[in-house]
Amino acid sequence: MASIEVVSGFNSIDQPSSSRLALSQRKSTGFLHLERRDGLASEGIKIDAGFWYADFSIGGASNLSLLIDTGSGDVVVNPGIYVPGKTSKKLDSTFENTYGTTSKDGTGSATIVGDLYSDEVTFGGLTATQIVGSANGTSLLPKSGIVGFSGQRFNQFPASSSATPFFQSLCNQKKVSECRFGLALSDDGTGTQILGELDTSLYTGDLVVAPIIENWVLPGDLVVSGEVQERDLPIELDSGTATIVGPIDTVSAIFNATGIQGVLRSTSDGDLLIGYFPCDKPPTVGFNFPSETNVSLAAKESSSTISNKSSTFNIPLNSWPAVDNGNNNCTAVLSGQNYKAHPGLWVIGQPFFQGLYIDHNLENGTVGFAPLKGANPGSTTTPTPIGDATAHRQGVWAILVLALTLVAVTM
């Protein structure tokens, strides 16, 4: 999602707490109702085209199926959805938000316009006073709308609205005990979103912790067939993208090295490199976190919260087929596309999340990774020794450019 303004937050008023929201993904559309257990706040979930949704209440409207998106920062609902609540206040302001990667193949864009309101938003039993966009144009978001879980940098609402992302509002208003949330999306299509705490019961081993550049962009190393190929790449973790997208040149090299047939196509968003491979022979491609550069820096600081060893988190093997074309031919979940404003940027969508617990820590400015309990072995994470592989290209310059100019990312 494009991001324009950096804005301030709300005053804190309530006592902290934590909440877990159960998520589920299914190939066909429909609701899945889960029972409350072990203190989990479970909600009905509706899934479509590879995106994750959860139930929210906004103002006087309940059971809204909203897309969970760590690549954008605003709360927007489709026309006719918003019902003012008791505390609703219409702002003297309108919005115009542009979203990218709106299609299942990682391409596409949509511009949403409408009016702004201040109202209460409830998710998993936690409520925050929030700026909400009520769309009134012809372009629509999937299902009821979208909730951005990125940082303030990626809000598109006008600065005059003083909008913050929903989870940042929960933090500012002290509605959560810790300013962190977790996504635990398993490879069987079910998952949990955790608000306000680190739930160590959901994963195995130690949490691998890496620093961020922006919420949620961090440096990482590209690993192909167990060897580091590029270091310090700017990588955006975006649960609102259904694929994994990298620079065309790099993705082309991956395709060549792993036997994937690449086809370059022209789209309204620019060139798109698509890959085709035998469905029964997915490649092994992943990312090192923290980057080896960050590991070296952390080793020099005894008080650092950053992990002192890199681990490789591979794209799950069962996530590689984005489309099964028949006759053992599949379209790869990895594609190539260049973002002119952010050279070298990778956008890692929700297929990468599956099988992992990913902790988003706003207070410390870190992201943590660990395999989920019961995850498919061999498809998620393996330790990578430091210095055993040769990096062919460096991404430091791309990270410096990104840190200085990052004002827009895809959804």
Domain residue extents for the chain: 19-195, 203-405
Phi, psi (deg, nearest 5) at residue 315: -60, 125
* Contact of 232 with 252, CB cutoff 8 Å: no
Task: Give the pLDDT score at 20.
Answer: 53
Phi, psi (deg, nearest 5) at residue 14: -115, 175
Strand stretches in 88-189, DSSP E? 89-100, 109-123, 126-135, 145-148, 180-185
276 pLDDT exceeds 90?
A: yes
Q: How far is CA 182 from CA 176, 192, 349, 394, in A?
A: 13, 8, 15, 30
358 pLDDT exceeds 50?
A: yes
Confidence band of 387 (pLDDT split at 50, 70, 90): very low
The CATH number of the domain covering residues in 19-195: 2.40.70.10
pLDDT in tens, 112-166: 999 999 999 999 889 999 999 999 988 889 899 999 999 888 899 999 999 999 9
DSSP 258-280: HTPEEEEEEETTEEEEEEEEETT
Q: How far apart are the C-alpha atoms of 220 and 31, rounded to whole Å?
A: 36
Task: Give the pLDDT score at 106.
Answer: 64
pTM of the model: 0.84
Q: Which amino acid is it at 319? A: S
Structure tokens at 64: 């809204």
The CATH number of the domain covering residues in 203-405: 2.40.70.10
Fold equal for 19-195 and 203-405: yes
pLDDT in tens, 15-61: 345 555 555 443 333 323 333 332 233 343 445 677 888 999 999 99
Among 203-207, 279-283, 372-376, the minimum mean pLDDT is found in 372-376
Confidence band of 303 (pLDDT split at 50, 70, 90): low
The fraction of the chain above a pLDDT of 90, given in percent, is: 63
Q: Which residues of 39-76 are buried (b: 16+ CB within 10 A; e: fewer)?
A: ebbbbbbbbbebbbbbbbbbbebeebbbbbbbbbbbbb
Task: Give the pLDDT score at 373.
Answer: 92
89 pLDDT exceeds 90?
A: yes
333 pLDDT exceeds 90?
A: yes
